[in-house]
Amino acid sequence: MSDTHYTLARSTPRFAFIAEAEILGMGTHARVSELSARGCYIDSINPLPKDTDVRIRIRYGCSTCDFSGTVIYTHAGFGMGVVFAGLSTEQRSTLDVWLAELARKLDS
């Protein structure tokens, strides 16, 4: 058995982020607990299977944005990681505003 330790090097910072989420087309409501420029983690007792394409509506403060993505991993009974796909200029702008706010909160 190898003693090699593996670490996951993230290409973008991930922030703690509490927001309401809805899986569109399923009527499933959940909570986003982490956010990055590439995706998010959605807390859900019944996560969707890996490789499932999803549309997510995230509500944070007074803003709402819909995202398309793919489930890239699941934690049974806890939630799932979703990577965003094909962000429009408007979606990227909303995401950048949210991430900038989260970064400012870390600095204060």
pLDDT of residue 51: 97
Residue 102 identity: L
71 or 4, greater pLDDT = 71
Band (pLDDT 50/70/90 cuts) for residue 14 is confident
Q: Tens digit of pLDDT for each residue in 79-102?
A: 999 999 999 999 999 999 999 999
Q: Is the pLDDT reported for residue 7 higher than 60?
A: no
Of the candidates 22, 10, 15, which has an alpha carbon nearest to the alpha carbon of residue 98? 15
Cα-to-chain-centroid distance, residue 26: 17
Percent of the chain's residues with pLDDT above 70: 89
Alpha-carbon distance of 100 to 57, in angstroms, equals 20
Q: Tens digit of pLDDT for each residue in 29-67?
A: 999 999 999 999 999 998 999 999 999 999 999 999 999
E-strand spans in the chain?
15-23, 28-35, 39-43, 53-60, 63-75, 79-85
Q: Is the pLDDT reported for residue 10 higher than 70?
A: no
Alpha-carbon distance of 87 to 44, in angstroms, equals 23
**Distances, alpha carbon 85 to alpha carbons 32, 34, 71, 101, 108, in Å:** 17, 17, 11, 22, 32
Query: Could you give all domains of the chain from N- to C-terminal order, each with its CATH number?
Result: 15-107 (2.40.10.220)
